[in-house]
Amino acid sequence: MSSTPVPAPPYGRPPLRTVQVLGGAGAGAGAGAGSSAHVRSLAGGLAARGVRVTVCAPVAAEGEYDFTGAGAQFEPSAVNALRVACAGADIVHAHGLQAGMRAALALRGRRVPLVVTWHAGPATGPGPLAGLTRLLERRVARAAAVVLGTSSDQVDLARRRGARDARLAPVTVPGARFVPGDPGKVRAELGAVERPLVIAVGSLVPHRGYSVLLDAAREWRALDPVPLVVIAGEGRLRAELTRRIEQEGLPVRLLGQRPDVAELLAASDVAVLPSRWEARSLLAQEALRAGVPLVATAVGGVPELVGDAGVLVPYGDAGALAEAVSGLLGDSGRRGELVRAGLVQAATWPSEDDTVAQVLAVYDELMERFRPA
């Protein structure tokens, strides 16, 4: 984050106290990589501006993102700890639907404004889980003083669910910070020295679209040389995906959770994002910033984020995905065009400072609105 002069609080006014709520205890529900990285960035920016920040999140998230290192106080997201933290807050800001519901319950009976940043996509399908999700969307949307959507379709969804005040607030997370390594060494370790390397990143869960990616990888076996597809991430579909890879002889490796995603990405020829839905995809942001051509599904906030700097295909269309990647691998000129366009597109995104300033402006507005008469 760029250094910004820190304004002192007005004389006699105590510093603003905020609680940032992420996910829940246990599986880290709602505390995805994008939202966790956003909270880490937001906590650091707010603390640098004199705001007192408490982050309530799963203990594992503190271990990975070091919220205390950003200047925040950390509290586990257990129910009692969340209630105590919210009791002393001026503003509570929840990230994700489950965090929003937990925060709303913790604030019951208190006149403390709740801000919810909506990170997830709409519930789909007729099943009971989708019905429960839609109910959760309505309750959180109506409980929040302000809903911040990271993409335009999220803002529209929040309004349909009954939000009193829903606004667009694009989230920019920090760019990858690492000492550049040797891409050749990375490729050698993966077994992709003399073959193209295609990368996907994200948890192994249904909405990521990895079954479609495996369908596309089956078609890439006809290429010479056959590209290697690597997927960095972990999740409940590992066994199912592994079975398919082995039974069909697919050129795909599951790498598990990796701390060196930036290095893997920098060594790749193409990044793929086959998801059913994304808001402001972390992989898309990292790929464009790193100068790696991107093929992604035209869903959610992806077109808004990527513009013309990536190749967009329909979700679920393995043929279109396979053709788009094959075309790029065979056309170095087109890959170069996308690299240049990606860097230009990334320069249009709000900076971390811009993101923090927008959120702080919302907090200031709510403090005026909720100030005792």
> Is 137 a member of any domain?
yes
**Is the same domain home to 328 and 242?**
yes
* Domains held by the chain: number: 2
> Is 12 a member of any domain?
no
- pLDDT of residue 1 exceeding 50: no
| Position 175 confidence tier, pLDDT thresholds 50, 70, 90 | low
CA distance 46 to 85: 17
What pLDDT, on the 0 to 100 scale, is given for residue 359? 96
CA 181 to chain CA centroid, nearest Å = 25
Q: Contact at 8 Å (CB) between 46 and 73?
A: no
Name residue, tokens 């920098």. 266
**Is the same domain home to 120 and 95?**
yes
Task: Tell me the residue length of the chain.
Answer: 373
**Is the same domain home to 26 and 162?**
yes
What pLDDT, on the 0 to 100 scale, is given for residue 25? 42
Judged by average pLDDT, the poorest of 41-55, 126-140, 166-180, 336-350 is 166-180
> Is 267 a member of any domain?
yes
**Is the same domain home to 119 and 242?**
no
> Is 177 a member of any domain?
no
Q: Contact at 8 Å (CB) between 165 and 147?
A: yes
CA distance 352 to 45: 8
CA distance 144 to 163: 7
> Is 10 a member of any domain?
no
**Is the same domain home to 202 and 296?**
yes
| Position 181 confidence tier, pLDDT thresholds 50, 70, 90 | confident
| Position 26 confidence tier, pLDDT thresholds 50, 70, 90 | very low
Domain with 194 in it: what CATH number? 3.40.50.2000
**Is the same domain home to 216 and 250?**
yes
**Is the same domain home to 221 and 362?**
no
**Is the same domain home to 194 and 222?**
yes
What pLDDT, on the 0 to 100 scale, is given for residue 267? 96
CB atoms within 10 A of CB 142: 14
**Is the same domain home to 27 and 167?**
yes
**Is the same domain home to 225 and 242?**
yes
What pLDDT, on the 0 to 100 scale, is given for residue 11? 46
| Position 191 confidence tier, pLDDT thresholds 50, 70, 90 | very high
**Is the same domain home to 87 and 28?**
yes
> Is 4 a member of any domain?
no
Pairing of strands 17-22, 91-95: parallel
- Is 254 in a helix, a strand, or coil? strand
Mean pLDDT (the chain, rounded): 90
* Mean pLDDT on 217-234: 97
Strand ranges (E), the chain: 17-22, 52-57, 73-76, 91-95, 114-118, 146-149, 166-168, 197-201, 228-232, 252-256, 270-273, 294-297, 311-313
* Mean pLDDT on 251-270: 95
**Is the same domain home to 324 and 365?**
no
Segment 283-335, tens digit of pLDDT: 999 999 999 999 999 999 999 999 999 999 999 999 999 999 999 999 999 99
Segment 64-103, tens digit of pLDDT: 899 999 999 999 988 888 999 999 899 999 999 999 999 9
> Is 143 a member of any domain?
yes
> CA neighbours within 13 Å on the CB side: how many for 296?
31
Q: What is the spatial order of strands in the sheet that 311-313 belongs to?
A: 252-256, 228-232, 197-201, 270-273, 294-297, 311-313
> Is 178 a member of any domain?
no
Tell me what percent of the residues of the chain surpass a pLDDT of 70: 90
| Position 180 confidence tier, pLDDT thresholds 50, 70, 90 | low
Write out the residue range of the structural domain in which residue 165 sits.
17-172+350-369
* Mean pLDDT on 181-200: 94
CB atoms within 10 A of CB 114: 25
